[in-house]
Structure 1
Amino acid sequence: MVTVAPTYHVPVLLRQSVDGLNIQPNGTYVDVTFGGGGHSREILSRLGENGQLYSFDQDGDAERNMPPGDGRFTFVRSNFRYLTNWMRYYGVTAIDGLMADLGVSSHHFDDEARGFSFRFEAPLDMRMNSRAGMTAADVVNRYDEERLARIFYLYGEMKNSRRLAAAIVKGRADRPLTTVAHLTELVQPLIGRDRQKKDLAKVFQALRIEVNHEMDALEEMLQAAVRALRPGGRLVVLTYHSLEDRMVKNFMRSGNAEGKTQQDFFGNRLVPLKPVNNKVIIPDEEEQTANPRSRSAKLRIAQKLG
Structure 2
Amino acid sequence: MNLQYNHKPVLIKESIENLITDQNGIYVDATFGGGGHSYEILKKLSKKAILIALDQDKESIKRNFIKDKRFHLFHKNFVYLRDILNQNHIDQVSGIFVDLGISSLQIDNPTRGFSNRFNCILDMRMNQESSYSAQNVINECSKKELFHIFYEYGEFKNPIRIADKILEQRSKKNITTALDLVHIFFIKGSFKKRKRFFARLFQSIRIKVNNEINILKNFLLESSKIILPGGRFVVISYHSIEDRIIKYFFKKGVIINKIRFKNLPFIMIHKKVIKPSFKEIINNPRSRSARLRIGEKT
User: If the length of structure 1 is used for normalisation, what is the TM-score?
Assistant: 0.93
Cα deviation code 1:174-233 (max 9, x no counterpart): 1111111111111x22x2232111001100000000000000111111111111001100
Partner secondary structure for residue 223 of structure 2: helix
Contact 2:253–2:261 (8 Å) recurs in 1:
no
Partner secondary structure for residue 227 of structure 1: helix
Corresponding residue to 2:289 among 280, 290, 296: 296
> Which residue of structure 1 aligns with residue 208 of structure 2?
210
Give the Å deviation of 1:90: 1.2
> Which residue of structure 2 aligns with residue 25 of structure 1?
23
The 5-angstrom pairing of residues 250-289 of structure 1 reads 250-258=248-256, 270-289=263-282
> Which residue of structure 2 aligns with residue 114 of structure 1?
112
> Which residue of structure 2 aligns with residue 267 of structure 1?
none
> Which residue of structure 2 aligns with residue 100 of structure 1?
98
CA distance in 2, matches of 1:192, 1:87: 51
Cα deviation code 1:57-80 (max 9, x no counterpart): 000111133244311001011111
Partner secondary structure for residue 231 of structure 2: strand
Q: CA, structure 1 residues 68+136, in 2 after alignment: closer, same or farther (shift >3 Å)?
A: same
CA distance in 2, matches of 1:224, 1:192: 44
CA distance in 2, matches of 1:88, 1:258: 28
> Which residue of structure 1 aligns with residue 147 of structure 2?
149
The 5-angstrom pairing of residues 5-44 of structure 1 reads 5-7=4-6, 9-44=7-42
Contact 2:254–2:261 (8 Å) recurs in 1:
no
Give the Å deviation of 1:146: 1.5
Q: CA, structure 1 residues 141+221, in 2 after alignment: closer, same or farther (shift >3 Å)?
A: same
CA distance in 2, matches of 1:39, 1:14: 7
The 5-angstrom pairing of residues 35-114 of structure 1 reads 35-114=33-112
Give the Å deviation of 1:149: 1.3
Give the Å deviation of 1:22: 2.5
> Which residue of structure 1 aligns with residue 224 of structure 2?
226
Look up the equivalent residue of 2:124 and give its one-letter code.
Answer: M
User: If the length of structure 2 is used for normalisation, what is the TM-score?
Assistant: 0.95
Contact 2:274–2:293 (8 Å) recurs in 1:
yes
> Which residue of structure 1 aligns with residue 189 of structure 2?
193
Partner secondary structure for residue 158 of structure 1: coil
The 5-angstrom pairing of residues 153-192 of structure 1 reads 153-186=151-184, 188-189=185-186, 191-192=187-188
Contact 1:5–1:65 (8 Å) recurs in 2:
no
Give the Å deviation of 1:130: 0.7
> What RMSD, in angstroms, separates the aligned Cα atoms of the two structures?
1.4
Cα deviation code 1:82-128 (max 9, x no counterpart): 11111111111110000001121122111111110000010010000
Contact 2:5–2:65 (8 Å) recurs in 1:
no
Partner secondary structure for residue 296 of structure 1: coil
Partner secondary structure for residue 160 of structure 2: helix
CA distance in 2, matches of 1:88, 1:254: 29
CA distance in 1, matches of 2:70, 2:271: 33
**Identical-residue share of aligned pairs (%):** 39
Tell me the matched-pair count.
295
CA distance in 1, matches of 2:214, 2:3: 31
The runs of at least 4 consecutive aligned structure 1 residues that moved more than 6 Å come to: none
Partner secondary structure for residue 61 of structure 1: helix
